Amino acid sequence: MSYDWEGLVQEDRVHRALYTDPAIFNAEMTKIFGGTWVYIAHESEIPNVNDYVTRKLGLRPVIVLRDSNNILRVLYNRCTHRGTTLCRHEKGNARAFQCPYHGWNFLNSGKLRGVPWADGYSADIKDEKFNLAQAPRVESYRGFIFATLNLEAPGLLNWLGPMTKPIDEWLDRNPGGKIVVCEANRFKYKGNWKLAYDNSSDGYHVIYSHRSLLEMESRLSDEANKGMAYYKNSPDSLAMYVQYMGNGHHFKDKRPNLQARPGGLWAIESTHPGKEYAEAEFRRKYGERADSLLDLAGSEPVNINIFPNLSLLGNHIQVFQPISVNETDAVWYGTRIEDVNGDIGDALGTINALRMRTQEGFPNFGEVDDLANFEQIQVGLQCEEDEWIYMNRGHGIPDRVKTNADGTITAPATDEVFMREYIKEWKRLMKGPTPLSIKREP
């Protein structure tokens, strides 16, 4: 495939083909969703030895598991005999996977354990070529499991680079720095996967795309400080900002808008089931501790976007799963906390219940409108002759966009600088040679 990548990705705009061309999509599934680190699951989904979940690495069906020796693996969910998927369940616990077609049996290390009537083979079925393929590199950063097929990619820690700081802060506000994934709001939209990644730090769309949500949130009170209301008036003059972090990652930090005090986070939380009960009960029972306990149920106002498919926002772990050039799944995994240090005690149940209800709000009343807009971009892009999509907000204005000493780039909250920068990383990966490999147990 030869494309004029420099022509398709320009300084302030990209060509519609990035979103509509099936050949580009197919190349992305190799070069992006194979050639760079891709988020694949959270360790809390497979806490015990032999636990597994089935996922996709790009379009490749995989089984993400903790094997019998407690090693994290991303096995191709593909029988080495004739190619059928081995495991058809979403999750479970299994020491071995027996193929439903002819019964080949694989250990969860990927090694072939046995086949029916082995004497019918002249080939050595102990040959490693019959062991399951698996991602050659699987690494976890504080519970977030990533995989890549690229042996030349930097180590996960280097690749995350300055992103580890917001990730650490996102985790460390929870007891023991720990969260547990607990079901999800799951969406499908008829649009390219990058439409969601483009949107993930977009502060410009909030007051329009989410107007129904903003009006809903202020229908019972005029309090200007709820939910996303700080986007209503001159958001660029506020302390919040967007930061490009390198390697395609970016970060929207709205925390500087908060009051820096216990309860500051809770103060911006919009209404949800059980809110007033919990506030009254916690103040009665826990006095001064009430505010910091309530903060544990509040949504952290950050968007930590890790290229190409992960976004930590509020308390959610959002994952983008490409299906085809014009279809994507977007899964908003919820998170709950555990009383790791034993200092939450009997408040834990109420905190987690509130935390579920706060997390259901945005997907139900906000995300659905963004998804409708993504779908309609995909429709609009069928206008072949109108070729360009602009990402030029904040471009070319002196002193608006600042490059920091560590190479990160900071700009006002509604700027599209993060799109202009991440798409350069996309272009680098799409242009480059893609040395992908799999491994098999010896």
Instruction: List binders of another protein among 263-292 (CB under 8 A).
Output: 271-277, 280-281
Nearer to ligand FES, 106 or 189 (CB): 106
d(CA 77, CA 132) in angstroms, rounded, equals 8
d(CA 335, CA 327) in angstroms, rounded, equals 26
Q: Provide the minimum distance between the beta carbon of 338 and Fe ion in the complex, in angstroms, as a whole number.
A: 29
Nearer to ligand FES, 103 or 435 (CB): 103
Starting at the edge strand found earlier in the chain, the sheet holding 137-141 runs 38-42, 144-148, 137-141
Which token pair is 324? 């085809």
Q: Which residues, in sequence order, are CB contacts of 215 under 8 Å at separation 6+? A: none
Nearer to ligand FES, 32 or 79 (CB): 79
Nearer to Fe ion, 238 or 368 (CB): 368
Instruction: List binders of another protein among 70-129 (CB under 8 A).
Output: 90
Look-up: residue for tokens 């990035």? Answer: 18
One symbol per residue from 356 to 395: x for binding another protein (CB under 8 A), - otherwise; what is it? Answer: xx-xxx--xx--xx-xxx-x--------------------
d(CA 308, CA 411) in angstroms, rounded, equals 21
Nearer to ligand FES, 77 or 359 (CB): 77
In 10 A of CB 183, how many CB atoms? Answer: 11
* Footprint of ligand FES (CB under 6 A): 79, 81-82, 84, 99, 101-104
Instruction: List binders of Fe ion among 357-386 (CB under 5 A).
Output: 370
CA dihedral 130, 136, 141, 143 (to 10 degrees): -10
Q: Which residues, in sequence order, are CB contacts of 413 under 8 Å at separation 6+? A: 203, 231, 235, 236, 238, 240, 241, 242, 252, 254
Instruction: List binders of another protein among 224-263 (CB under 8 A).
Output: none
3-state secondary structure labels for all residues of 139-182: EEECCEEEEECECCCCCHHHHHHHHHHHHHHHHHCCHHHCCEEE
Q: Provide the minimum distance between the beta carbon of 91 and another protein in the complex, in angstroms, as a whole number.
A: 10
Q: Provide the minimum distance between the beta carbon of 156 and another protein in the complex, in angstroms, as a whole number.
A: 27
Q: Provide the minimum distance between the beta carbon of 114 and ligand FES in the complex, in angstroms, as a whole number.
A: 11
Instruction: List binders of another protein among 327-356 (CB under 8 A).
Output: 329-334, 336, 349-350, 352-353, 356
Starting at the edge strand found earlier in the chain, the sheet holding 105-107 runs 96-98, 105-107, 112-114
One symbol per residue from 188 to 207: x for binding another protein (CB under 8 A), - otherwise; what is it? Answer: xxx-----------------
Task: Point out which residues bind another protein (CB under 8 A).
Answer: 90, 182-190, 209, 211-213, 215-216, 219-220, 271-277, 280-281, 329-334, 336, 349-350, 352-353, 356-357, 359-361, 364-365, 368-369, 371-373, 375
Task: Point out which residues bind Fe ion (CB under 5 A).
Answer: 370
